[in-house]
Amino acid sequence: MTLDDLATRGLVLLGCGKMGSAMLEGWLKGGLPPASVWVTDPQPSEWVRAQGVHINEDLPSDPAIVLVAVKPQMMGDALPSIQALGNGTTLFVSVAAGTTIAHFESVLGAQTPIVRAMPNTPAAVGKGITALIGNAHASDAQLALAEELLQAVGQTVRLESEAQMDAVTGVSGSGPAYVFHLIETLAKAGEAQGLAPELAMTLAKATVAGAGALAETAVEDPTQLRVNVTSPNGTTQAALEVLMNETNGFPPLLKEAVAAATHRSKELSNG
């Protein structure tokens, strides 16, 4: 299955909020014809309406892909509308948090090709990372196509088992919020040392964004990058002695935070 199959058979986007819209924008920029896309959404945005895609029309009988991007609480109402496409050659790709492959198989049919994916919010600016795993009926070609579609909003990684999805949620799914909180607290700490709030926030945002970009592009790993910045007995070392404390610094705090998010993800997945 290739992108040409999408243009011929069609792609259905079930739900087109922020995540769905970000992916749709990437696909259209990549050359997918708007006439090959069907969007089903009770409240499509003005931007979606302006793209020339099919909106809330009858779906094609055998689309190449149905991408499920509705909120988890809307899943119960949304899935029955596409149930007839199950147990066939249509690949279902879900980016809905907390909904397992087994649940999709129970609604759509046990023979349905399904890929479960976990993107994160930086997808909105093309800087996301998405973890994915397919069921036994998703072919290598279908997995490759799903990966290509998801790369429209950033990087992708494949998981070895669906059980890893909860930990992925704890690290990259919820992770942007940890970084946003770091920016908040770094700016507040700057204020406490006498900086004006606006200046402190500007410095904090640029520092975190720049460090992230450097970590992603540098040959060295983050450990070496940290060492590079840390002069012996200098200012950075003084700060790191606080942050790297094994009792109450970053290591135990982030370990506890990611564990809490992972545990909650398991609870939500189990209903």
For 230-262, how does the pLDDT look when each residue is reduced to its tens digit (9 = 90+)?
Answer: 999 999 999 999 999 999 999 999 999 999 999
Please name the residue ranges forming H helices in the chain. Answer: 3-9, 18-29, 46-49, 75-78, 101-108, 140-150, 165-168, 175-192, 197-217, 222-229, 235-243, 250-269
For 153-208, how does the pLDDT look when each residue is reduced to its tens digit (9 = 90+)?
Answer: 899 999 999 999 999 999 999 999 999 999 999 999 999 999 999 999 999 999 99
pLDDT of residue 26: 87
213 has pLDDT over 70: yes
Contacts of residue 153, Cβ cutoff 8 Å, sequence gap at least 6: 22, 23, 26, 119, 123, 124, 126, 128, 130
2 has pLDDT over 70: no
135 has pLDDT over 70: yes
Q: How far is Cα 265 from Cα 223, in angstroms, rounded to an integer? A: 29
Contact status, residue 53 vs residue 45, Cβ threshold 8 Å? no
Distance of CA 207 to the CA centre of its chain: 23
Structural domains for the chain: 3-165 (3.40.50.720), 173-269 (1.10.3730.10)
pLDDT of residue 74: 80
Mean pLDDT of 114-126: 92
pLDDT of residue 46: 95
* CA atoms lying within 13 Å on the CB side of residue 255: 9
**pLDDT grade, residue 3 (50/70/90)?**
low
For 4-60, how does the pLDDT look when each residue is reduced to its tens digit (9 = 90+)?
Answer: 677 788 999 999 988 899 889 988 888 889 999 999 998 999 999 999 999 999 999
pLDDT of residue 1: 55
**pLDDT grade, residue 266 (50/70/90)?**
confident
CA distances from 12 to 59, 115, 187 (A): 7, 15, 43
pLDDT of residue 105: 94
Mean pLDDT of 99-105: 92
Count H helices and E strands in the chain, helices first.
12, 8
